[in-house]
Amino acid sequence: MPTARFLPAPALRLILFVCLCLTAACATRGPATESATAPAPTAAASSASANAAAPVPAELPLLLVSIDGFRTDYLDRGKTPRLAALAAGGVRADALRPSFPSLTFPNHYTLVTGLYPDHHGIVHNRIEGDGENDRFVYNDASTTADARWWGGEPIWVGAERQGLRSATMFWPGSDTAIAGVRPSYWKPFDRNVTPEQRVDTVLGWLDLPPDQRPRFLTLYFEHVDRAGHDHGPSSPEVNNALTEVDAALGRLLDGLAARGLGNAINLLVVSDHGLTAASSTRVVVVDDIVNLKRVRAVNYGVVAGFAPEPGQQAYAYKTLVKRHDHMRCWRRTQMPARFHYGSNPRIPPIVCLADPGWIIARSDWVKEHPHDSPRGEHGYDNDLPEMRALFVASGPSFRHGARVPEFDNVDVYPLLAHLLHIRPAPNDGNPKTMRGILRDGG
């Protein structure tokens, strides 16, 4: 089940208010103050220049395409011939490892900031803030429009600030003025805009006169993820969605070729996470484990968060923080280091993670979903092979016909900054990764 279908949590408590004030200060930081207030990015990444690899021709546009929920092995199903041809002529990574949690908003924002969710502040698709009604709900534009949620500096903000135009045909965060800056061209998310219309909008932006033409563009498709949730990763519906999105990519590639841009644009095609088979009968029923009057559920799903009510800390930690059947819970501050998750006070004090194929829900949700229907889920441990995402690069700046080992999605941002010739903001990425991707890169 997409997290959107879970019930909202009840009112906020003072204890979180104090913590989240701190987070808000962190989230609103601009690039100038970032190093002073942000949880520290890795030293290697923040100090490295973007010049780890060979020079990139100056004026090439860069188009970042996301196919939400495209598991890396979908590329081998024979349903995406245009994407496969792009990969064969360019660079394909064995996989792109998502950041934890392997959810849509945290990972899309990681891709464009190079920061782990713990550091950029979009720690979940649904977050509680510091007031009674202070919530971030990923598919409620009235909440995501508040720039306070979005920390770090997304690549389009860096581009605009450094004199380059950007254009976003959907991307989480792109319809919010982050640090007061929006892309020159952007669209509010609307799933009714067809894949073809999205492609034509991007092509239209590339047709603008040189002084108005964007150098950095995004293009986003949710169709594969949606079919995966509703029918599972092995379903004909996912294959149909792959075919549909590949046709849109074909339209894009043909449109670029018709404009003489076939070999004069750098393309990255990525995804945010993969998907694994789940079912509405593989549910960890949380109110069978803990008294929800003593412990408040902040969110449910594959990754669920809990906050003890006042005076209930000992009960909450004793009852929840351990391995359960099909679920593991930690205190926020004691999560495994490899998750890079837990320092941000927006993360609830207790984090529970479902085992692959399972979800965490309440008994009333279970009553409403009694049937064993095949479905798909993500959000799980980002080390799981099924959570692995897509990375394909094609264009004059990239190697031809190269296959590279998997790498972390925080490493995409330094590559974007390098390709745009802009100064990267402090980030968690490893700029050495791009050496294996760029032509003559190392």
* Partner interacting with residue 315 (select from Zn ion, ligand AMP, none; CB below 5-8 Å by kind): none
Contacts with ligand AMP by CB under 6 A: the residue count is 16
176 is a contact residue toward Zn ion (CB under 5 A): no
- Contact segment (CB under 5 A) with Zn ion among 58-66, 88-96, 104-112, 410-418 equals 104-112
Q: Which of Zn ion, ligand AMP, none does residue 6 bind (CB under 5 to 8 Å by kind)?
A: none
**Which residues of 250-406 form beta strands (DSSP E)?**
266-270, 276-279, 283-285, 295-299, 303-308, 323-324, 327-331, 350-354, 359-361, 374-377, 391-394, 402-404
Question: Of the listed 23, 104, 110, 433, which one is catalytic?
Answer: 104
Which residues touch 88 (CB under 8 Å, ≥6 apart)? 401
Q: What is the 3-state secondary structure of 225-258?
A: HHHHHHHCCCCHHHHHHHHHHHHHHHHHHHHHHH
The strand pairing partners of 296, in sequence order, are 307
**Per-residue contact string for residues 212-231; x = within reach of Zn ion by CB under 5 A:** -------------x------
| Residues present in the chain in total | 442
The interface region with ligand AMP, picked from 11-19, 80-88, 155-163, 218-226 by CB under 6 A, is 218-226
User: Which of 348, 350, 361 minimizes the C-alpha distance to 128?
Assistant: 348
139: partner contacted, choices Zn ion, ligand AMP, none (Cβ within 5-8 A by kind): ligand AMP
Q: Is the peptide bond before 106 cis (omega within 30 degrees of 0)?
A: no
For the window 264-283, what string marks contact with Zn ion as x by the rule CB under 5 A? --------x-----------
Binding residue for ligand AMP, selected from 51, 59, 177, 191, defined by CB under 6 A: 191
- Known catalytic membership, residue 3: no
Task: Give the count of alpha carbons within 13 A of 240, CB side only.
Answer: 9
330 interacts with, out of ligand AMP, Zn ion, none, CB within 5 to 8 A per kind: none
Contact residue for Zn ion among 24, 52, 61, 68 (CB under 5 A): 68
Q: What angle do CA 295, 298, 301 make, to 5 degrees?
A: 110
Angle at 109 between CA 12 and CA 242, to 5 degrees: 115
Does position 143 bind ligand AMP by CB under 6 A?
no
Site string for Zn ion, 341-380 (x = CB under 5 A): ----------------------------------------
Rank residues 133 and 192 by Cβ distance to ligand AMP and give the closer one.
Answer: 192
Amino acid, res. 423: R
Q: CB of 222: closest distance to ligand AMP in angstroms?
A: 4
Q: Is 104 in the site for Zn ion (CB under 5 A)?
A: yes
Rounded to whole angstroms, the Cα distance separating 364 from 332 reads: 26
Residue nearest to Zn ion (CB): 104
Among the listed residues 100, 109, 150, 170, the single contact to ligand AMP using CB under 6 A: 170
Instruction: Report the amino acid identity of residue 238.
Output: V
Q: In what helix (H) or strand (E) does residue 348 lie, and over which residues does it extend? A: none
Segment interacting with ligand AMP (CB under 6 A) among 1-9, 157-165, 320-328, 347-355: 1-9
Instruction: Decide: 162 and 423 in contact? Cβ < 8 Å.
Output: yes
Report CA torsion sign: 429, 431, 432, 436.
Answer: positive
Q: Is 172 in the site for ligand AMP (CB under 6 A)?
A: yes
β-bridge partners, 360: 284, 301
CB 438 within 8 A of CB 399: yes
Draw the binding track, 372-411, toward ligand AMP (x: CB under 6 A; -: no contact): ----------------------------------------
Q: How far, in Å, are 89, 133, 179, 318, 342 from residue 334 at the CA level?
A: 44, 28, 31, 14, 7
Select the span of 46-54, 150-158, 220-228, 386-394 touching ligand AMP (CB under 6 A): 220-228
Number of residues that bind Zn ion (CB under 5 A): 5
Minimum CB–partner distance for residue 276 and ligand AMP (Å): 13
Backbone angles phi, psi at 346, to 5 degrees: -75, -15
175 binds Zn ion (CB under 5 A): no
| 98 versus 429: smaller Cβ distance to ligand AMP | 98
Distance, in Å, from the CA atom of 355 to the CA atom of 380, rounded to the nearest integer, reads 7
* Residue 308 binds which entry of ligand AMP, Zn ion, none, CB below 5-8 Å type-dependent: none
- The binding track of 83-112 with respect to ligand AMP, each residue x by CB under 6 A or -, is --------------------xx--------
Q: Which residues bind ligand AMP (CB under 6 A)?
A: 2-4, 68, 103-104, 125, 138-139, 170, 172, 189, 191, 222, 225-226
Q: Which residues bind Zn ion (CB under 5 A)?
A: 68-69, 104, 225, 272
Which residues belong to the active site?
Answer: 104
